[in-house]
Amino acid sequence: MSPAAEAEAPWARRPKRADGRRNYDAILDAARVAFAERGTGASLEDIAKSAGVAIGTLYGHFPTRETLVEATIREQLDQLDQAAAAQADGDGDPLGSLTTWMRLAVEHCSTYRGLASFLAGSTYTAGAPLHHTSVTVHKAAAPLLARAKQADRIREDVTAEELYAVITAAAWARENSPASTDHSVRLMAFMVAGMSPSAEVPARA
């Protein structure tokens, strides 16, 4: 919650010098491959080796694993943000817009094994590198959620936090589903149906 944390995130910037940018990008590329293959717990030394840089170079650009994870998915999250804005501006079916966007969010939040845990963990930790990501997803969802509520397709008492919990839980299910059958789509369908005003759900305590 310190103002310094909000002010400037040094790890968020690409280096200015040409060789620095080249290494920075090479590390990101290698990280994406490694995370895709072995999850977000992949060996940082292997990533540095694949990128052709010394381990110290990796730490220079990304002081913690979470900063590296954040950087590998930043563009996808921007895209998710834009998709939400596009859906909210359109005049399509409010529930359809929400569910379509949620499915996209689930895909993005399950890009790598372990990502959903990182995202869930950073939500309530203001200083975390992924906290900004988490907040962005919350904000992106808000207008879509509001529109679905106004159209009486989603219960009034569903909060943005709960929607985020639904998305990350489904993303986790996707990460942990066998390749043959992805359970997350069915879980999402159940949860969205359960969030309907017509569903029999006890009020929150």
Partner DNA sequence: ACCTGAACACCGTTCAAGT
Binding site for a copy of itself (CB under 8 A): 117, 120-121, 124, 161-162, 165-166, 168-170, 172-173, 176-178, 181, 183, 186-187, 189-196, 198-202, 204
Residues 81, 88: Cα–Cα separation, whole Å? 11
Whether residue 145 contacts residue 154, with contact meaning beta carbons closer than 8 Å, is answered with yes
Q: What is the nearest approach in angstroms of DNA to the Cβ of residue 100? A: 36
Q: How far apart are CA 41 and CA 26, in angstroms?
A: 19
Given 4, 17, 179, 202, the residue binding DNA (CB under 7 A): 17
Q: What type of residue is 78?
A: D
Report the C-alpha gap between 64 and 76 in whole angstroms.
20
For the bound state, the minimum distance from the C-beta of residue 57 to a copy of itself, rounded and expressed in Å, comes to: 27
Binding of residue 11 to DNA (CB under 7 A): no
Q: Rounded to the nearest whole angstrom, what is the least distance from the CB of residue 199 to a copy of itself in the complex?
A: 4
**What is the secondary structure of 127-193 as a DSSP string?**
TSTTHHHHHHHHHHHHHHHHHHHHTTSS-TT--HHHHHHHHHHHHHHHHTS-SS--THHHHHHHHHH
Indicate the residue among 10 and 202 with the shorter CB distance to a copy of itself.
Answer: 202
- By CB under 7 A, name the one of 11, 32, 60, 196 that touches DNA: 60
User: CB-based burial of residue 13 (10 Å sphere; 0-12 exposed, 13-18 middle, 19+ buried)?
Assistant: exposed
Measured from the CB atom, is 26 or 188 closer to a copy of itself?
188
Print the binding letters for residues 105-144 with DNA: x by CB under 7 A, - otherwise: ----------------------------------------
Per partner kind, with CB cut-offs from 5 to 8 A, the member of a copy of itself, DNA, none near residue 2 is: none
Give the x-and-dash track for 31-50 against DNA (CB under 7 A): -----------xxxxx----
